[in-house]
Chains A and B, each alone.
Chain A
């Protein structure tokens, strides 16, 4: 039943490690997003894919690399993790891609803690 799901829910790791977060949506949407919510609760967009094509790529360190194997999945791989990467990462999806008219649906978030 879950519309947008993320795994894992919690991720604790050491500095310098490489980790991935996975996202899947079963809503049939054509656009997916990654957001980062920092300790001050600000949500900022990182990436967006429309039909597997990257359409938004904010000023994010190139240690972050999104991958969309198909329209229903958008994964986030992070290399050489740093303390400042600690945050909650949210995946979202919507329909209508470039038109942007419709609501975005969010996943439950992945809380990443870098030690």
Chain B
């Protein structure tokens, strides 16, 4: 089972920041937080991952709390194309580690 809890849905206005929360209170020391998204029925798309430090790339920022029990994915300027299901996944690092997907959070970006 997925080790993360996410609200089922949220929406935000186009051009505004979207802050997607995730709880992972049972995360262990060697587990990373990964975020993927799935647009319609396409294959999941990797967004970002982190261990304990905040991370930023061209797509998003990841803020992990100091106790590592929760995190927030931030899309700084949401567009209509960011409407998707976003998955927060806890997994050991390593190319051989499987991903356990939950139901994710459906983000709807409105015009």
Specify whether A and B are partners.
no
Chain A residues within 8 Å of B, Cβ to Cβ: none
User: Interface of B with A (CB < 8 Å)?
Assistant: none
